[in-house]
Amino acid sequence: MARLDPLRDAVKRLSAKTPVGSVLRTAEWARVPLAFRERAQFSAAVESMRVLSTIQERLEKQTKLRRERLASGKTATFDRSSFIDSIRGIAREEGLTPEDEALRGGLQDITSIPRLGLIYDTQNRQATGYARWKLDQSEGALLLWPAQEFLRIEERRVPREDWPGRFAAAARDAGDRAALAAFASTGRMIGLKTSGLWARLNRFGTPWPPFDFGSGMGLEDIDREEAVELGLIGPDTILDSGVEDFNKDLEASVSDLPTEFTRVLQTHFGSQIKVAGGRARWQSDQGEIAERQRIDERQTAGSVFEGGRRDFRAIRSGDGGAAIDDASAGTLIDRWSVEVAAVAAGRKPLFHEHLGDTAPEVARALSQTVPANVIVEARDGHLWAYRPDIISRYANPDRPLTGQVAAHSDDGVWLGYGANWPGDKTVRVAILDEDKNPVAGFRAPADSPELFAKARAEDYAVATGRPHSYLLDRP
């Protein structure tokens, strides 16, 4: 399910992880079922729970700090050095410096800058990669960009891996003949986003980046037209999301794990898992829950969109603030209706527009259209729509919510764009309808514009029932 603030998924993913201390090496962790590894914050060969818990806490704080910096228009960078200094000091206090001098300062030394930097970079890239993967598995994204290309996005002085060989092996293991054929004919590493090859290609077993420690490799979207030309899909092929298949790993065999490690799983995950007959299973059916949420979201967004279109037609040309002529009325009404629908579905924090004299009339009409948990207010010609349970995540709990909503009426983060504008650290995004006509525009963070662009395009697709795409205007 796509969201307008995909970085919150990254924070949630880090927060949900359970600190796990183990003397097992990375290679042994690879034997742990994927569903468990994705819920465990670990660092191989480190036993100190204090160190691991602090790693989790600091990573979560730094991910939140990134979003706060985006909100203020500051440079969107993580405070990497303070993370390393903090964990390094604690690890030394715990006496975790290797006794063997030959190991000190290297990747097997948890007190070393290279090891802590590797942990920091890998975890944050996994969080961002996870957010993007969730968006890429939505119906709208799979319709418009069904495939992706694996390629180098960061140069390395001496590339360590034979990535073409690994890609071909992963495609063979997954039985992906179309990807193998495209690779043989073009030399490009391309496959459908729902293919099982990506998890097989990835050292960590996930279908999202990073694919290895410091690999410098990443993914780029391949649109539907090119995917058809490459023979990956037919002209009428509609892909199903890979999320359900991925969630099947929530039940997995642990029969090949040592007894002591099965006990580690049970100790740290408690009632979240049930181990019986050599199998371990998460106690909640995440796939079924997610599907119900998607159905509810589509129904909510669709009905509110149609109701909003009717209610916004109350705006009369010539009224103050939102005076619109007949030529632009349809586009504006559709845009406003999509955004109110996104608020109602919990996909957008805040809707604001200056509608002039018609604001009270539109507010009264919308109040009958939106669900009961959505607040619609009109004051001084302005109209706001928001869900208190969503917007309160951004607000100061010690101050009245209404005043804060008004004060943040033009705040790009509160409005769901991910960044404020103008600024040299943002990218202009245009949302396009099925005929490639622009229907909306905003500025997104320069380091992750695709996340916000795809999420907003998905809002339009869910609300209108028609595919929408996006265009990035990079400097």
Task: Walk along the chain (475 residues) and give the pLDDT tens digit of each residue.
Answer: 333 355 556 666 666 666 666 555 565 566 566 666 666 666 666 655 667 677 777 777 776 666 666 555 554 455 678 788 878 887 787 777 888 888 888 877 888 888 888 888 887 788 778 878 888 888 888 988 999 999 998 887 777 779 999 999 999 999 999 999 999 999 999 999 999 999 999 988 889 998 988 888 999 999 999 999 999 999 999 898 877 666 666 666 777 666 656 766 665 566 667 788 887 776 655 445 555 666 777 788 889 999 998 888 877 554 444 445 555 667 788 999 999 999 998 888 899 999 888 889 999 999 999 998 899 999 999 999 999 888 877 787 778 888 899 999 988 888 888 777 666 688 899 999 999 999 988 888 887 788 778 888 888 988 898 889 999 987 6
* The model's pTM: 0.63
Q: Could you give the dihedral angle defined by the CA atoms of residues 82, 65, 453 and 342, in that order, rounded to the nearest 10 degrees?
A: 160
Nearest Cα neighbor of 79 from 127, 132, 117 is: 117
Beta partners for 385? 351, 376
Whether 389 contacts 381, CB under 8 Å = no
Helix, strand, coil: what percent of the chain each, to 5? 50, 15, 35
Give the span between the Cα atoms of 265 and 394, in whole angstroms.
35
Give the span between the Cα atoms of 58 and 45, in whole angstroms.
20
Q: HSE (CB half, 13 Å, CA atoms) of 325?
A: 1
Taking residue 424's Cβ as centre, other Cβ atoms within 10 Å add up to: 8
Whether 56 contacts 12, CB under 8 Å = no
Amino acid letter, residue 235: P
Give the span between the Cα atoms of 314 and 378, in whole angstroms.
14
Amino acid letter, residue 263: R
How far are the Cα atoms of 124, 136, 168, 209 from residue 130, in angstroms, in the given order?
10, 10, 24, 8
Whether 43 contacts 258, CB under 8 Å = no
Give the span between the Cα atoms of 134 and 243, in whole angstroms.
8
Region label for 105, one of left (φ > 0), alpha (ψ between -120 and 50) or beta (otherwise): left
Q: Own/partner pairs for 401-410, CB < 8 Å, 24+ apart?
A: 402/377, 405/350, 405/377, 406/379, 406/382, 408/350, 409/350, 409/352, 409/382, 409/384, 410/352
- Radius of gyration of the chain from Cα atoms? 24
Between strands 350-354 and 382-386, the pairing is antiparallel
How far are the Cα atoms of 172, 235, 268, 452 from residue 72, in angstroms, in the given order?
47, 44, 38, 17
Beta strand ranges found along 3-88 (DSSP E): 18-20, 40-42
Whether 224 contacts 143, CB under 8 Å = yes
Give the span between the Cα atoms of 118 and 212, in whole angstroms.
11
How far are the Cα atoms of 108, 239, 416, 455 from residue 351, in angstroms, in the given order?
50, 32, 9, 16
